[in-house]
């Protein structure tokens, strides 16, 4: 599955549950193997947490966010963005954290 110019097709499903209190599951799908990054960003665009990075095979992949930042601190309640980047393409989903 590729688009007309041969770029990989990627899909980012809405996080579940959303809003969440403990952990939310994030599923993304790749049409072919590629290097990916999955990051959580706050409303100001700052990276809160990197959930996944590296080469991944084609198919569905699951990662979870436990509501913590990269230093292990609990993130504040509020709206965050899940950003999936693959081969220069980006997909974004919104998730709401409740404490």
- For the stretch 24-78, pLDDT in tens is 999 999 999 999 999 999 999 999 999 999 999 999 999 999 999 999 999 999 9
Q: In which residue are the tokens 């230093």 written?
A: 71
Fold of 10-97: Immunoglobulin-like (2.60.40)
For residue range 6-36, what is the model confidence (pLDDT) as tens digits?
666 789 999 999 999 999 999 999 999 999 9
| Ranges of each domain in the chain | 10-97
Reply yes or no on whether the pLDDT at 2 is more than 90: no
b/e for 38-61, b at 16 or more Cβ within 10 A?
bbbeeeeeeebbebeeeebeeeeb
Could you give the CA distance from residue 76 to residue 58 in angstroms, rounded to a whole number? 34
pLDDT at residue number 99: 84
pLDDT at residue number 16: 98
């Amino acid at each position: 599955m590729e688009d007309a110019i041969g770029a990989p097709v990627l899909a980012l499903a809405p996080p579940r549950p959303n809003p969440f209190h403990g952990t939310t599951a994030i599923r993304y799908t790749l049409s072919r193997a590629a290097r990916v990054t999955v990051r959580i960003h706050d409303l100001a665009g700052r990276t809160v947490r990197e959930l996944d990075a590296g080469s991944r095979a084609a198919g569905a992949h699951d990662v979870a966010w436990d509501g913590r930042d990269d230093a292990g601190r609990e993130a504040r309640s509020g709206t965050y963005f899940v950003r999936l980047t693959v081969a220069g393409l980006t997909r974004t989903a919104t998730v709401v954290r409740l404490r």
